[in-house]
Each structure stands twice: as structure tokens, then as C-alpha cells.
Amino acid sequence: MWSQISRFIIRVIENGEEKYLFSTRVLLYDPALAKKFSSPLLANRYWKKSLYKGLIHTIIPDPYELAVPQSLSAIVE
């Protein structure tokens, strides 16, 4: 499954709320604005430098990339 996904984001749980990492110092509620990573390894490396590294986090596929099938994205371009 991971081989077909080209972008990942970091989801963080802060005070019971789901947020997304925008930068090493900023969390946002909107996953569309989250920083995109090309691999989970790069996301982990970036996470280790963030101010929130002590919080619970998960690296997930970009939900907006999953919403558009690859065949349709080729037609749009």
C-alpha cells in the first residue's frame, strides 16, 4: 500500500484533539494545510526536530491525495 502513496502528513493528538503538523512550531486543524513529506522516514526525521515531539503522533497518507484517483489526476493535467 505505501508504494502507491507519494505524500504523507503527520497527525498529532494534543489535549485530546486531532491536529496536523504545519511546521516544527505550528499545529493546524486542517489536514489540507499540513506539511507534505515524500516518505515516512523523512516525516519522522522532521518530527524529531519539532517542538511537539513528546506528543502522540501518527504518520498517515495525505487524505487529499487519496481522494483523487491517479487516472483522474492525469486527465486534469
Task: Check whether 41 has a pLDDT greater than 70.
Answer: yes
What pTM value is reported for the model? 0.79
Segment 4-24 mean pLDDT: 93
Q: What is the pLDDT of residue 34?
A: 96
Residues 6+ apart with CB under 8 A from 22: 28, 33, 34, 35
Segment 61-76 mean pLDDT: 65
Q: In what order do the strands lie in the sheet with 8-14?
A: 26-28, 17-23, 8-14, 56-61
Q: What is the pLDDT of residue 64?
A: 83
Q: If pLDDT is split at 50, 70 and 90, which confidence band does 13 have?
A: very high
Do the bridges between strand 26-28 and strand 17-23 make them parallel or antiparallel, or are there none, so unpaired?
A: antiparallel
